[in-house]
Amino acid sequence: MFLADCQARLAFDLLAPTWNAVVVCALRHGPRRPGELRAEIGGISPKVLTETLRRLEANGLVARRAYAEAPPRVEYELTELGQTLLGPIQAVGKWALDHAEDVLAAQDRWEESLETSS
């Protein structure tokens, strides 16, 4: 597992872009419109949100539904495949909540050691 060309790498490519996991998580309770996602997530620009949704769609994690109305209405929702990803994502999220302090403390120690040595 996890050698150079292992399939397990595929999942990390999916989760690597900053907002992918955030958007998947924001969709966990059902379909959402882009405007709702922007409001709920906060701090994501419209361009990046559509890019993120396109990536997720290209990998079969979300489905896009457009309605021929005006003003235009679009909804995104998790596919079955996307929902199976919620478990691993939340496992990582839980680890972060449990150990964020340790990581931040380690980062501080690292900064200090850089100053000391310079």
Q: Which of 40, 46, 104, 108 binds DNA (CB under 7 A)?
A: 46
Report residue 27 CA to chain centroid gap. Answer: 10
CB of 79 closer than 8 Å to CB of 58: no
Binding of DNA by 9 (CB under 7 A): no
CA distance 78 to 101: 32
Binding of a copy of itself by 50 (CB under 8 A): no
CA distance 37 to 50: 11
CB of 70 to DNA, least distance (A): 3
Binding of DNA by 23 (CB under 7 A): no
Binding of a copy of itself by 51 (CB under 8 A): no
Q: Which is nearer to a copy of itself, 71 or 103 (CB)?
A: 103
Q: Which of 57, 74, 75, 77 binds a copy of itself (CB under 8 A)?
A: 57
Classify burial at 74, counting beta carbons within 10 Å of its beta carbon; exposed 0-12, middle 13-18, buried 19 or more.
middle
